[in-house]
Structure 1
Amino acid sequence: MSASSRKSLFPGRSLQVDMSPMIDLVFLLLIFFMVSSTMITYRQDPNVKIPVASAGKVPGLVQGRVVLNVYEDGTIKDEAGKVIDPAGVEDLMRGAKSADPAVRLHVRADRVAAHRFVKGVIDASAKGGVVNVIFSTHVTDK
């Protein structure tokens, strides 16, 4: 049926397409993708006072990191706040490495934490197979 013959079947009425179902579908798809996508963030523990650096850059990608907080007394906590020991760090890194070969360790060490505590975390991470390390610092403006 041609367009001219369709117009003759409904004299006085114009042909229109109802956009409401399409708009509803777009909103449903938007909600679906918002809910199903993973929000990639990490929590920062405000109790860890990270050191100040004169130079540095903010790493762009948050995905693929294992964040460990090292406190002044040598306590190590993961991103969820669970206390772990160096052997636990090694196991955690081994599991993270098997899940994502490009995983990185993100160390948030307290500015007054002894270097031996941080070194212990890095050594345990290396034993677990993760050797790419990111250190958190505050960068001063010059």
Structure 2
Amino acid sequence: MNFRKRVGVEQIGLQLAPMIDVILFLLSFFLLTWNLARYEADLEVKIPKAKNGELPKRLPGEVIINITKDGQVNLNHRVVSAKELEEIIKGVIQQYPDQAIIIRADEETSYKEVIKVLDVCRAVNAWNIAFATNRPDMTSSQ
């Protein structure tokens, strides 16, 4: 008599459900971080420090204008002329009249360059304008 049981050999299979869960989790993570990274400001611009500044509530769709120390105006990580900037802001303001416009000027930027951007904003009746600053205790630029 043979009392030994025969053990069936199971084939090793790939479990798809956990793999799909992990892939969807990673996809959602990267989509969320990409969306936040779109609003990330130009890292070459070193903004000035202010003791009494307030931390803003970040809103989706903010228009962030970066002005480098040599007066170059960047919008959405590309250089724009004053005419292009006016057309873009005009289109945004027509659709969203209360849209926030944040000006991030380098601490070494000429005052004349900041006034040029303010003049463009005023020409299209943009009124919700803010200037980005850092707190003195913060080391990285925002």
Distance 1:58 1:76 in 2: 24
- Work out which of the two has the higher radius of gyration on C-alpha atoms and give 1 or 2: 1
TM-score of the aligned structures, taking structure 2 as reference length? 0.68
Determine the C-alpha separation between the residues in 1 that align with 2:36 and 2:122.
24
Q: How does 1:27-46 map to 2 (within 5 A)?
A: 39=35, 42-46=39-43
Which position in structure 1 is the counterpart of 2:67? 70
Check the 8 A contact 1:53/1:138 in 2, yes or no: yes
Does the CA-based 8 Å contact 1:54-1:139 persist in structure 2?
yes
Give 1:140's match in structure 2, choosing from 121, 136, 140: 136
**Structure-1-length-normalised TM-score:** 0.68
3-state SS of the aligned residue for 1:52?
coil
1:128 alignment partner, one of 121, 124, 128: 124
Q: Of the candidates 96, 103, 108, which is equivalent to residue 99 of structure 2?
A: 103
Q: Tell me what 2:81 maps to.
A: 85
The one of 91, 94, 104 equivalent to 2:90 is 94
Alignment match, 2:54: 57
CA contact (8 A) 1:64 1:102 kept: no
Task: State the AA in 2 paired with 1:50.
Answer: I
Give the aligned partner of residue 21 of structure 1: none
Q: Which amino acid aligns with 2:75?
A: D
Which residue in 2 is equivalent to 1:7? none
Structure-1 residue corresponding to 2:114: 118
Bigger fraction of residues in strand: 1
SS at match of 2:92: helix
Task: For structure 2, list consecutive stretches of 5 or more residues without a partner in the other structure.
Answer: 1-20, 138-142
Asked whether the 8 Å contact 1:40–1:63 carries over to 2, the reply is no
Letter in 2 for 1:60: K
Counterpart-to-counterpart distance in 2, 1:131 and 1:64? 16
How far did residue 83 of structure 1 move?
Answer: 0.7
Show structure 1 runs of 4+ deviating over 4 A: 34-38
Verify the 8 A CA contact 2:68 2:109 in the aligned structure 1. yes
Give unmatched runs, 5+ long, in structure 1. 1-26
Question: What is the CA–CA distance in structure 2 between the aligned matches of 1:76 and 1:127, rounded to whole Å?
Answer: 17
